Amino acid sequence: MTPLLRRGLKGLVLGVSITALVGCGTLFHPERKGQMSGRIDPVVAIANGVGLLFFILPGVIAYAVDFSNGTIYLPSGHNAAGIDSLKLENDMDVASLERLLSDKSGKPVSLDSELLRVEEVESLDEALALVRMAGIANL
């Protein structure tokens, strides 16, 4: 084997190994973290499977990371049509917001709770993932 061919093969093996280790759903779709189940994303599964073709360990690690993070699953299919939206007015005070949320949910709402977490998200999928990670299983 010529030195050039050997060097090329080493580079190819190294490149495929690195791709298999980092080419998983956790890097492709970090917004999916926290999903508990669903349909498996074939693109992520194939990317993880590339590691199994060349070396067992990178593929197994990629699958383990994706299953433990939930990033191997496709988004749940929840869309804005399935989520209630409320219009908030700029001059709304805390008491008005609590009444609005209580009326909508049918349960008393207190925004003074130390268990309350308010966070701005960029998408509905990210919001649902945060809710799932919080341990609320009814979504």
Residue 75 placed within a domain: no
Residue 111 placed within a domain: yes
Residues 84 and 45 in one domain: no
Residues 8 and 61 in one domain: yes
- At residue 136, the pLDDT reads 59
* 119 φ/ψ angles, rounded to the nearest 5 degrees: -145, 135
| Residue 135 Ramachandran class (φ > 0 left, ψ -120 to 50 alpha, else beta) | left
3-state secondary structure of 109: coil
Residues 88 and 51 in one domain: no
Residues 11 and 63 in one domain: yes
Mean pLDDT of 126-139: 67
Q: Does position 77 have pLDDT exceeding 60, yes or no? A: no
Residues 65 and 86 in one domain: no
Residues 84 and 47 in one domain: no
Residue 139 placed within a domain: no
- At residue 135, the pLDDT reads 63
**What CA–CA distance (Å, rounded) separates 61 from 13?**
17
Count how many domains the chain has. 2
Residue 93 placed within a domain: yes
**What CA–CA distance (Å, rounded) separates 68 from 50?**
19
**What CA–CA distance (Å, rounded) separates 43 from 47?**
6
- At residue 13, the pLDDT reads 77
Residues 52 and 88 in one domain: no
The DSSP code sequence of 36-94 is: ---PBPHHHHHHHHHHHHH-HHHHHHHHHHHHHHTTTBPP----GGGS------TT--H
Residues 88 and 35 in one domain: no
Residues 93 and 57 in one domain: no
Residues 65 and 10 in one domain: yes
Show the domain range for 106.
Answer: 80-133
Residues 55 and 31 in one domain: yes
Residue for token digits 């925004």?
111
- At residue 139, the pLDDT reads 45
Mean pLDDT of 105-115: 80
Q: Are 63 and 26 in contact (CB under 8 A)?
A: no
